[in-house]
Amino acid sequence: MDLAEQLTRDEGKRNFLYVDSVGKTSGGVGHNFTDLGLSDAAIAFILAEDIARVQKQLAPFPWFQGLDEIRQGAVTNIAFNIGIGDLLHFPSALHYLSIKDYPNAAAAFLDSVWAKQVGDRAQRLARQLTEGVWV
């Protein structure tokens, strides 16, 4: 046994946040989110895991495979925000991506409730799709 195993046994391991016995929001192995929050390293680790999860979900789609890294980034950003299920509710945009008609793909994303909800984010991602540059 090592310290990590001992703490896991004694604190328990929770994959979801909970309120502990003294009213603190906790999670993981006794991590006190109320007082400690997350370190920059923990945030970077979680973000990297989340990006990898979304890209793994997108990888099987031929229209995604055919995109360059920058356009894959834009689509990953959208899926990260709305989830893969909702992304698939953009059939016109996905069709345009599959034929590399990026201006029309961008326009299809912009013509949505999502674009109105996220404002500048949608505008930036549409530009990234159209121009093929990180914005």
Within this chain, do residues 17 and 54 fall inside the same structural domain, yes or no?
A: no
Within this chain, do residues 30 and 72 fall inside the same structural domain, yes or no?
A: no
Taking the C-alpha atoms of residue 8 and residue 37, their distance in angstroms, rounded to an integer, is 19
Within this chain, do residues 10 and 45 fall inside the same structural domain, yes or no?
A: no
Measured over the CA atoms of residue 43, residue 133, residue 105 and residue 111, the dihedral's sign is positive
Q: How many domains does the chain have?
A: 2
The pLDDT of residue 3 is 97
The pLDDT of residue 47 is 98
Within this chain, do residues 48 and 24 fall inside the same structural domain, yes or no?
A: no
What radius of gyration, in Å, describes the C-alpha atoms of the chain?
20
Within this chain, do residues 102 and 49 fall inside the same structural domain, yes or no?
A: yes
What is this structure's pTM? 0.91
The pLDDT of residue 110 is 98
The pLDDT of residue 20 is 92
Within this chain, do residues 30 and 59 fall inside the same structural domain, yes or no?
A: no
**Helix-helix angle 40-58:69-82, to 10 degrees:** 100
Within this chain, do residues 25 and 9 fall inside the same structural domain, yes or no?
A: yes
Within this chain, do residues 23 and 82 fall inside the same structural domain, yes or no?
A: no
Q: What are phi and psi of 28, to 5 degrees?
A: 65, -130
% the chain with pLDDT above 90: 100
Mean pLDDT of 98-111: 98
Quick one: pLDDT band at residue 75, thresholds 50, 70, 90? very high
Taking the C-alpha atoms of residue 64 and residue 78, their distance in angstroms, rounded to an integer, is 13
The pLDDT of residue 74 is 98
Average pLDDT, the chain: 97
Within this chain, do residues 51 and 101 fall inside the same structural domain, yes or no?
A: yes
Within this chain, do residues 55 and 118 fall inside the same structural domain, yes or no?
A: yes
Within this chain, do residues 16 and 63 fall inside the same structural domain, yes or no?
A: no
- Domain extent, residue 20, equals 3-36
The pLDDT of residue 88 is 98
Partnered with residue 25 across adjacent β-strands are 19
Within this chain, do residues 19 and 53 fall inside the same structural domain, yes or no?
A: no
The pLDDT of residue 15 is 97
Mean pLDDT of 38-50: 98
